[in-house]
C-alpha cells in the first residue's frame, strides 16, 4: 500500500469525523480493513486526530454540543468497524493505557459529557467501566475495588447533584488513596475539585473533551517517541 | 411596603424602598426543613410541606418572595415519565426523571395539555402555590416557574437525541419544540390564573455551553417569544451558563426581565440591553453560600450591584445545605447595597 493511499484514508477518517459524515467514515474504515492498513494507526491518526480538531473547533466556539455529538457518532461508526481488528501489540506499545471507572453521580441523569469522555478514553485505549447515570455512590467504590482501576471519573451536570461526588471521593480515598479521581460537569470548578479532595477536573463538557483529547495526544506522542 | 408590593412594583419599574431579596429559582434551605422536622425528600410530594418549607425559609432569612416547586421533573412526570424521589437516600437529592423517551418516534404528546394538570404531582404544586399565596395574608411575593420549551423537551426525551436532531432532523424537532412551547404556555397560564406575582421561564439548557447563537436564534428564541407574548403576569427569561453571546436576543424575547448566572458579564450586558432593562443576577450560589467564608459574601453581592443588576439573584437554585452565616451576610448585603437606585428601578 502506498504512503499516499494511507494518507488519503487517514484524511478521509479525520475529515469524516470533523464534518460528522458517518457514511464517509464507514467507507474509509472498511477500506482500511480491505486494503490491510494498520488499524491502530487509522484509529489514532485518523479518527482520534479528527476528534482533536473537533475539540479545537469547540474551543474556538465554532462547534457546539450538537456538533460534538454528531462528530462522536461519526467516530463511533468508525470505531465499531476498526476496534475489533486492532492488534493488541500496537496498543500495548503506547504504554499508557489504563482502566477507568466512569459515571454520572446519583441524582443526575445527564450523561452527554460523561459519554463524550467515555468515547475519548476508549479511543485512547483505556478500558472503561461505564456505570451509566444516576449511579448510587457506593457503586463507584465497589467497581473501583472490583476492577482495580487507576482512575475514577465522575460527572454532575447540576449544583444540586454534585455534593455526592465529595462523599465518593472520601469513600474511595479511604479504601485506596492512590486512585486518581477526576470530576467533571458544568458546576464543577477547580476549587470545588480541590475542596472535594479530587485529583483533577474538567471545567465543562467542552473542556472535558479538551482534557481527553490531550490524553489522546500525549498517548500518540508517547507512541511516536 | 410589603414584600409582595416591593416585588410587584419592582417588575413595574416603579420606585421602591429597597432592593427586594428574591429569586426565580429555589431558595429553600436545610435549616428551614430541619426546623419543620421533616426530610428533604418529603417536601416534594406534599403541598403543605412544600409551601411551608418555602415560607419558613423566606421568614428565616428575610426573603421578599418564594418559588415552588423545587424540582424540574413535574411536567415530564405528568406525561407519564415518572420521577425518582430518592426517599431512601441520605442527604439532599432532587427528584429526577428516570425514563425519558429514547427517540422522537416514541414521544406521545397529549391533545390538550390542560388535561395534565390533574396528573402526578401537578396538584401538589398548585396546592403549594396556594399555600404560599395565602400565607400571612398574602404578604409575600410568590413566583411560579416552568422550564423553557427546549429544556422541557430534554426532560421528556433524551437530550443527546434532541441536540443532534436540532441539526439532523430539524423539521421534526422544530415541531416537537413547538408542542413543548404549547405545554409551557399552558403551565405558565395555569400558574398565572392561580395568582402568582411573576413567572420565570428557565430555558437553562440552551446557553452557549450547549448551543450556538445561530441555533439559539432560530430554534430557541421564536418559542420563548411565543411564551412571553402569551402571558400577562411579569416574566423572567432565565438562562444559566454561557449567555454573553445571546444576551441581546434574550432581552429581545419579550420578558419583563432577564436573569443570568455568574458566567455572564453583567457590565457588558447592561451596555447591550440599555439602562431600562431589568437585569437579575448573578452570583454563584454554591460558592457564595456554601463554601465561601461569610466575611467574603458582602463583596460578592456588592460586585453584582456594582456591575449593574437591578436585583441580586443567585445564578441557580440555592443549594439547600447553606451556611447560616453566609445566608445572613447575603441578605444583609442586598439590603446594604440595595438602598440606592439601580439602572432600571428608582428608590422612594
Average pLDDT over residues B215-227: 96
User: Which of A185-199, B135-149, B155-169 shows the lowest per-residue confidence on average (mean pLDDT)?
Assistant: A185-199
Q: What is the pLDDT of residue B196?
A: 98
A165 in contact with B, Cβ within 8 Å: no
Strand partners, B305: none
With cell 488513596, the residue in question is: A177
C-alpha cell at B30: 436545610
Top residue of A58, A66, A210 to mutate, by most chain B CBs within 10 Å, is: A66
Q: What is the pLDDT of residue A219?
A: 43
Burial A87-120 (b: 16+ CB within 10 A, else e): eeebbeebebeebbbbbbbbbbbbbbbbbbbbbb
How far apart, in Å, are the Cα atoms of A149 and each of A136, A139, A180, B29? 18, 13, 9, 37
Write the residue in B97, B164, B245 that is nearest to A66 by C-beta. Answer: B164
Write the residue in B94, B160, B215 that is nearest to A107 by C-beta. Answer: B94
Interatomic CA distance for residues B4 and B140, integer angstroms:
5
Q: What is the pLDDT of residues A148-197, one digit of tens each?
A: 888 899 988 777 778 889 999 999 999 888 788 888 887 788 888 888 99
**pLDDT interval class at A216 (50, 70, 90):** very low
User: Could you tell me which chain B residue has the CA closest to the CA of A112?
Assistant: B160
The larger pLDDT score, comparing residue B177 to residue A215, is at B177
CA atoms lying within 13 Å on the CB side of residue B79? 26
Q: Is the pLDDT of residue B250 over 80?
A: yes
Q: Is the pLDDT of residue B248 over 80?
A: yes
A23 in contact with B, Cβ within 8 Å: no
Which residues of chain A make contact with B164, given a CB cutoff of 8 A? 66, 69-70, 73
User: Are A114 and A207 a contacting pair, CB within 8 Å?
Assistant: no
Q: Is the pLDDT of residue A207 over 90?
A: no
A125 in contact with B, Cβ within 8 Å: no
Q: What is the pLDDT of residue A49?
A: 87
A21 in contact with B, Cβ within 8 Å: no
Test A66 with B321 for CB contact under 8 angstroms.
no
C-alpha cell at A196: 472535594
Average pLDDT over residues B228-247: 97
CB-count burial class (<10 Å; 0-12, 13-18, 19+) for A58:
buried
C-alpha cell at B310: 437591578
User: Are B70 and B52 a contacting pair, CB within 8 Å?
Assistant: no
How much is the CA Rg of chain B, to the nearest whole Å? 19
Top residue of A110, A133, A159, A165 to mutate, by most chain B CBs within 10 Å, is: A159
Which residues of chain A make contact with B160, given a CB cutoff of 8 A? 69, 112, 115
Q: Name the packing angle between helices A205-224 and A49-59 (round to 10°).
A: 140
- Cβ neighbours around B296 below 10 Å, total: 12
Q: What is the pLDDT of residues B324-348, one digit of tens each?
A: 999 999 999 999 999 999 999 999 9
Test B286 with A65 for CB contact under 8 angstroms.
no
Q: What is the pLDDT of residue B253?
A: 98
User: Are B286 and B258 a contacting pair, CB within 8 Å?
Assistant: no
CB-count burial class (<10 Å; 0-12, 13-18, 19+) for A177:
exposed
Measured at the alpha carbon of residue A102, what is the angle toward residues A101 and A104, in degrees to the nearest 5?
A: 145
* B234 CA: distance to closest CA in chain A (Å): 27
User: Are B320 and B31 a contacting pair, CB within 8 Å?
Assistant: no
User: Are B270 and B308 a contacting pair, CB within 8 Å?
Assistant: yes
Handedness of CA B169, B172, B178, B184 (dihedral sign): negative
- Cβ neighbours around A199 below 10 Å, total: 15
Q: What is the pLDDT of residues A91-139, one digit of tens each?
A: 665 545 678 899 999 988 888 878 877 877 777 677 899 999 999 999 9
Q: What is the pLDDT of residue A223?
A: 46
Q: What is the pLDDT of residues B83-127, one digit of tens each?
A: 999 988 877 888 999 989 999 999 989 989 999 999 999 999 999
- Helices marked H in chain A — which ranges? 3-18, 22-34, 39-42, 49-59, 65-82, 88-92, 112-123, 137-147, 159-175, 190-196, 205-224
Test A66 with B167 for CB contact under 8 angstroms.
yes
Burial B243-269 (b: 16+ CB within 10 A, else e): bbebbebbbbbbbbbbbbbbbbebeeb
Instruction: Give the phi and the psi of residue A158 in degrees, each rounded to 5.
Output: -130, 150
Which residues of chain B make contact with A65, given a CB cutoff of 8 A? 163, 209-211
Q: Of all helices (H) and strands (E), which one includes residue B237?
A: strand B235-239
Q: What is the pLDDT of residue A217?
A: 52
User: Are A125 and A41 a contacting pair, CB within 8 Å?
Assistant: no
Interatomic CA distance for residues B320 and B35, integer angstroms:
13
Write the residue in A106, A110, A112 that is nearest to B93 by C-beta. Answer: A106
Interatomic CA distance for residues B189 and B183, integer angstroms:
10
The residues near B154 (Cβ < 8 Å, ≥ 6 apart) are B162, B205
Mean pLDDT for all residues in chain B: 95
Average pLDDT over residues B247-258: 98
Amino acid at each position: 500500500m502506498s504512503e499516499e493511499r494511507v494518507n488519503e484514508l487517514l484524511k478521509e477518517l479525520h475529515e469524516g469525523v470533523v464534518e460528522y459524515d458517518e457514511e464517509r467514515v464507514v467507507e474509509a474504515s472498511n477500506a482500511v480493513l480491505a486494503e490491510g492498513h494498520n488499524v491502530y494507526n487509522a484509529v489514532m491518526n485518523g479518527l482520534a486526530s479528527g476528534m482533536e480538531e473537533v475539540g479545537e473547533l469547540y474551543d474556538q466556539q465554532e462547534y457546539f454540543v450538537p456538533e460534538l455529538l454528531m462528530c462522536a457518532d461519526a467516530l463511533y461508526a468508525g470505531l465499531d468497524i476498526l476496534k475489533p481488528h486492532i492488534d493488541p501489540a500496537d496498543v500495548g506499545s503506547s504504554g499508557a493505557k489504563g482502566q477507568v471507572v466512569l459515571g454520572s453521580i446519583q441524582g443526575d441523569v445527564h450523561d452527554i459529557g460523561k459519554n463524550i469522555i467515555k468515547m475519548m478514553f476508549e479511543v485512547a485505549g483505556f478500558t472503561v467501566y461505564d456505570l451509566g447515570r444516576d449511579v448510587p455512590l457506593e457503586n463507584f467504590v465497589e467497581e473501583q475495588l472490583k476492577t482495580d482501576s487507576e482512575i475514577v471519573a465522575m460527572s454532575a451536570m447540576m449544583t444540586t447533584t454534585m455534593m455526592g461526588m465529595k462523599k465518593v471521593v472520601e469513600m474511595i480515598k479511604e479504601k485506596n488513596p492512590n486512585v486518581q479521581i477526576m470530576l467533571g460537569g458544568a458546576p464543577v470548578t477547580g476549587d470545588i475539585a480541590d475542596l472535594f479532595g479530587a485529583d483533577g477536573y474538567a471545567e465543562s463538557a467542552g473542556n472535558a473533551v479538551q482534557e481527553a483529547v490531550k490524553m489522546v495526544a500525549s498517548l500518540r506522542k508517547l507512541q511516536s517517541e | 411596603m410589603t414584600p409582595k408590593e416591593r416585588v410587584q412594583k419592582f417588575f413595574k419599574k416603579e420606585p421602591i424602598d429597597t432592593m427586594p431579596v428574591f429569586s426565580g429559582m429555589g431558595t429553600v434551605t436545610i435549616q428551614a426543613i430541619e426546623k419543620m422536622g421533616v426530610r428533604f425528600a418529603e417536601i416534594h410530594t406534599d403541598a403543605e410541606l412544600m409551601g411551608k418549607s418555602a415560607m419558613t425559609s423566606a421568614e428565616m432569612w428575610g426573603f421578599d418572595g418564594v418559588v415552588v416547586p423545587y424540582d424540574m421533573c413535574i411536567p415530564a412526570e405528568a406525561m407519564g415519565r415518572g420521577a425518582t424521589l430518592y426517599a431512601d437516600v441520605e442527604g439532599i437529592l432532587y427528584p429526577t426523571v428516570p425514563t425519558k423517551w429514547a427517540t422522537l418516534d416514541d414521544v406521545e404528546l397529549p391533545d390538550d395539555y390542560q388535561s395534565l394538570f390533574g396528573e402526578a404531582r401537578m396538584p401538589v404544586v398548585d396546592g403549594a402555590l396556594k399555600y404560599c399565596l395565602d400565607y400571612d395574608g398574602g404578604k409575600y411575593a410568590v413566583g411560579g416557574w416552568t422550564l423553557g420549551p427546549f429544556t422541557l423537551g430534554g426532560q421528556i426525551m433524551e437530550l443527546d437525541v434532541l441536540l443532534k436532531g436540532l441539526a439532523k432532523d430539524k423539521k421534526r424537532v422544530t415541531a416537537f419544540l413547538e408542542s413543548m412551547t404549547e405545554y409551557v404556555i399552558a403551565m405558565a397560564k395555569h400558574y398565572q390564573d392561580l395568582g402568582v406575582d411573576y413567572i420565570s421561564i428557565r430555558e437553562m439548557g440552551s446557553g452557549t455551553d450547549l448551543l450556538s447563537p445561530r441555533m439559539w436564534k432560530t430554534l430557541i428564541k421564536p418559542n420563548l417569544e411565543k411564551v412571553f407574548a402569551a402571558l400577562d403576569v411579569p416574566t423572567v427569561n432565565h438562562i444559566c451558563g454561557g449567555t454573553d453571546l445571546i444576551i441581546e436576543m434574550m432581552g429581545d424575547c419579550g420578558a419583563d426581565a432577564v436573569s443570568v448566572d455568574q458566567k455572564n458579564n453583567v457590565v457588558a450586558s447592561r451596555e447591550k440591553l440599555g439602562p431600562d432593562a431589568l437585569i437579575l443576577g448573578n452570583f454563584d450560589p454554591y460558592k457564595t453560600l456554601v463554601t465561601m467564608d461569610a466575611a467574603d459574601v458582602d463583596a460578592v453581592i456588592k460586585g453584582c450591584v456594582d456591575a449593574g443588576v437591578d436585583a441580586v439573584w443567585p445564578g441557580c437554585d440555592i443549594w439547600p445545605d447553606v451556611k447560616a452565616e453566609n445566608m445572613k451576610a447575603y441578605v444583609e448585603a442586598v439590603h446594604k447595597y440595595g438602598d440606592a437606585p439601580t439602572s432600571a428601578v428608582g428608590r422612594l
